[in-house]
Structure 1
Amino acid sequence: MQKFIRMKAIAAPLPFANVDTDMIITAQYMKALTRTGLGKHLFRELRFAEDGGERGDFILNQPTCRGAQVIVADRNFGCGSSREHAVWALTDFGIRCVVAPSFGDIFAGNARKNGLLLIRLPDESCARLREEIALAQYAPIEVDLEAQRIGLASGEAIDFEIDPDDRRILMEGLDDIARTLRHADAIARFEAAL
């Protein structure tokens, strides 16, 4: 899993509440068993018209937000079913961080396991952040997990709190297997004792 310490990236405002996992990636693309290739289906119904052409009014299709690595969303992002594919689609598309007031519980667990940083900020802070991003004409922001701070193009900084264990896991790039392998010697000793 890729380490996350800090990054400077374009942020895309997505001011919708209750973005569920089916909106992130529809069920028809859930047959994939790998994490790659799902990004092209991210927000499919929002990004593409019925004829397959891009919808120019969707934020991730606009030239200023192509290549965005941060989404600033609204309440309850990632609610709905327990699709790990939703996190895979986001990360395969290039999204490394989602900022929102709240997240679906299962989605949050899947995000942590797959290196997607979730930052919880109050409703008014997320709304202001979306406004500031647009006012700065989508200039990159800096997300600093080590300092637990978001730096805006204006020079303003927004501090955030994150679970210390989640922070360590993301900063060290540890997925479930890597965390287990850190105890390989103790596991070997236990097995030898059996």
Structure 2
Amino acid sequence: MEKFVHLDAVALPIAQSNFDTDQILPARYLQKPRSDDFGTYLFRDLRYRADGTENEHFVLNAPAYRPARIVVANENFACGSSREHAVWALFDYGVRAVIAPSVGDIFASNASKNGLLIVLLPAQDVAAIIRKLEAQPGLHVSVDLDAQIVSTPDGVSHHFDIDPYQKRCLQDGLDELGYTLTQLDRIEAFERDYAY
């Protein structure tokens, strides 16, 4: 996994609440192998019409938002059915952080296992950021994982909490197995001390 320390990037506003995993990645793409670029399927039914042409009214199709690496969404983002593929679609597109008041529990678990940072902020703070992003398409948001701060160019900052284990894994670019291997000396010492 990639290390995550600090990210300053274009942020994509999603003002809709209860934006579910089927909107992030339609179910028909779940049978695709992981080697596929799931970023091409991100928000597929919203980004494209049935005839395959781009829907110019969907926010990600606006040129200023196309390079987005951060999603700022309203409450209950990525709710609905369990699909790790939704995280893959965001990650493969280039998104490295999701900022929202709340996200689906299973999505949050899948995100942390795949290197996608979830930042939970109060609803009024997220709403204020979304308003700024809608008013200034292409606006950057900064996420500092070390300091646990989200900030906007106008100098407004928001502190966020994160589980220390998840923070370490993101900072060091470790998945669960990678983290376990960092503890190998302790594991082997335990096995020696408690051998049957």
SS of the residue aligned with 1:4?
A: coil
CA distance in 1, matches of 2:81, 2:134: 31
Amino acid at match of 1:145: L
Query: Match of 1:33?
Result: 33
- CA 35–188 in structure 1, closer or farther in 2 if over 3 Å, else same: farther
The runs of at least 4 aligned residues of structure 1 exceeding 4 Å deviation read 186-189
CA distance in 2, matches of 1:73, 1:141: 13
Whether 1:108 and 2:105 are equivalent positions in the alignment is no
Amino acid at match of 1:176: E
Whether 1:13 and 2:18 are equivalent positions in the alignment is no
Return the offset for 1:185.
Answer: 3.6
Q: Deviations over 1:80-116 (max 9, x none)?
A: 1110011011100111011111111111000000010
Maintained 8 Å contact 2:119/2:160: yes
Q: Deviations over 1:6-52 (max 9, x none)?
A: 01100010011111111111111111231541110011111101110
Query: Match of 2:97?
Result: 97
Query: Match of 1:3?
Result: 3
SS of the residue aligned with 1:12?
A: strand
Q: Which ranges of structure 2 fall in alignment gaps of 5 or more residues? A: none
Deviates more, 1:181-190 or 1:9-18: 181-190
CA distance in 2, matches of 1:61, 1:82: 26
Maintained 8 Å contact 1:46/1:58: yes
Query: Match of 2:138?
Result: 138
CA distance in 2, matches of 1:155, 1:116: 25
Maintained 8 Å contact 2:78/2:103: yes
Return the offset for 1:174.
Answer: 1.1
Query: Match of 1:178?
Result: 178
Return the offset for 1:137.
Answer: 3.7
Q: Which ranges of structure 1 fall in alignment gaps of 5 or more residues? A: none
Query: Match of 1:59?
Result: 59
Give the structure-1-normalised TM-score: 0.92
Q: Percent identity?
A: 45
Root-mean-square deviation (CA, aligned residues, Å) is 1.8
CA distance in 1, matches of 2:172, 2:36: 22
Query: Match of 2:77?
Result: 77
- CA 137–39 in structure 1, closer or farther in 2 if over 3 Å, else same: closer
Amino acid at match of 1:70: I
Give the structure-2-normalised TM-score: 0.92
Return the offset for 1:158.
Answer: 1.9
